[in-house]
Amino acid sequence: QDLQEQMAALLPVLPVLEQFRSDARLVAQLKDEVGNLSGSLLAIREEMGAFGYEELQQRLLLLEGRLHACLRRLGCGKLTGVSSPITIRASGSRFGSWMTDTVTPSSDSRVWYMDGYYKGRRVLEFRSLHDFATGQNFVQHLLPHPWAGTGHVVFNGSLFYNKYQSNVAVKYHLGSRSVLAQRSLPGAGYNNTFPYSWGGFSDIDFMADESGLWAVYTTTRNAGNIVLSRLDPRSLEVLRSWDTGYPKRSAGEAFIICGTLYVTNSHLAGAKVYFAYDTATASYEYTDIPFHNQYSHISMLDYNPRERLLYTWNNGHQVVYNVTLFHLVGGDGD
């Protein structure tokens, strides 16, 4: 019955996928998989024990992941609006970072919380968003190396952060509580050499979108302009870089959606999403998207592609925003 309920929850996704004709072959393949799995579920009702429960459950989880990944990929588009802020909690100091995993299935609702912007090592892991909002049911991770800035991201079960007083990227696996990789970002400034406008050792900012893991930083060679690099999440190797031409010290914060980097023009009240750099075309444009900075001092801003939410740390408040996208396929708003 549990499996049938999970299956029923997936079936309404199919008509949505069919709207996107450009990927019809993939949609047909996914429909076949759903049909095959439905047949398996029917058979298990008629002949108990014919299929292994664990195996069938694993197939369902994999299919759920593929369906939702397909939805994210086909639903990519251009940012056209940011909602009013929704305050989840008021806690911690003026500066910090909080996040959920950008890759894992929706059943994983853990929240990670990192108060402060330099020399910190304590990461709190809450079981759910509700537990985070109420400040209960959490465990603590003590990082082997202190962090710098607030540009951390949790990607597929690992925390990626900038090691204090260096341009070293660290990959810390939250499950095994161990460092899986460390690597210097070539030429990247650190120690407030090229921070965002608010300072706070925010030289290096890790982020994720529908296509993978990224880092924003700058170098002397790039004259202080924002460099956007695609990273290999296993080795932290830089796969490709783009010089956006936008001065990092003039940026309030930045986030990436569907391969396009969006930059705010301030971290204070009156901020707006002012600049967009598209990695697919290596081109930029100036934008004018209102961004309500309710508590007047943003020190962290990141997009979560799994939830389609912006997460912010705003003057000791943990806040989320919904985003509106203009779809590149189909042309409808999300």
| pLDDT of res. 92 | 96
Query: What is the mean pLDDT of the segment spanning 98-111?
Result: 91
Query: What is the mean pLDDT of the segment spanning 128-132?
Result: 95
Output the six-digit token pair for 121.
Answer: 């090592």
Q: What's the whole-number average pLDDT of the chain?
A: 87
Q: Rounded distance, CA 328 to CA 205, Å?
A: 27
Query: What is the mean pLDDT of the segment spanning 86-109?
Result: 93
Taking each helix axis from N to C terminus, what angle separates 2-10 and 53-74, rounded to the nearest 10 degrees?
A: 20
Given pLDDT bands bounded at 50, 70 and 90, which one contains residue 326? confident
| pLDDT of res. 35 | 72
Fold of 78-326: Neuraminidase (2.120.10)
| Cβ neighbours for 20, distance < 8 A, ≥ 6 positions apart | 27, 74, 75, 329, 330
| pLDDT of res. 49 | 56
Query: What is the mean pLDDT of the segment spanning 280-297?
Result: 96
| pLDDT of res. 330 | 42
Query: What is the mean pLDDT of the segment spanning 249-256?
Result: 97
- pLDDT by residue (tens digit) across 72-95? 555 688 999 999 999 999 999 999
DSSP H or E stretch at residue 66: helix 53-74
Whether residue 156 is predicted with pLDDT greater than 90 in this model: the reply is yes
Output the six-digit token pair for 53.
Answer: 């429960």
Whether residue 167 is predicted with pLDDT greater than 60 in this model: the reply is yes
- pLDDT by residue (tens digit) across 253-268? 999 999 999 999 999 9
Of 285 and 64, more confident: 285
Whether residue 26 is predicted with pLDDT greater than 90 in this model: the reply is no
Given pLDDT bands bounded at 50, 70 and 90, which one contains residue 334? very low
Q: Rounded distance, CA 328 to CA 313, Å?
A: 30
| pLDDT of res. 327 | 72
Query: What is the mean pLDDT of the segment spanning 207-231?
Result: 96
Whether residue 304 is predicted with pLDDT greater than 50 in this model: the reply is yes
Could you tell me which of 293, 131, 231, 113 has the C-alpha nearest to residue 217? 231
| pLDDT of res. 289 | 97
Q: For the chain, give every domain's residue range.
A: 1-75, 78-326
Output the six-digit token pair for 35.
Answer: 């049909």
Query: What is the mean pLDDT of the segment spanning 29-53?
Result: 66
Q: Rounded distance, CA 287 to CA 30, Å?
A: 37
Of 46 and 229, more confident: 229
| pLDDT of res. 22 | 46
- pLDDT by residue (tens digit) across 136-152? 999 999 999 999 999 99
| pLDDT of res. 71 | 54
Given pLDDT bands bounded at 50, 70 and 90, which one contains residue 9? low
Given pLDDT bands bounded at 50, 70 and 90, which one contains residue 36? confident
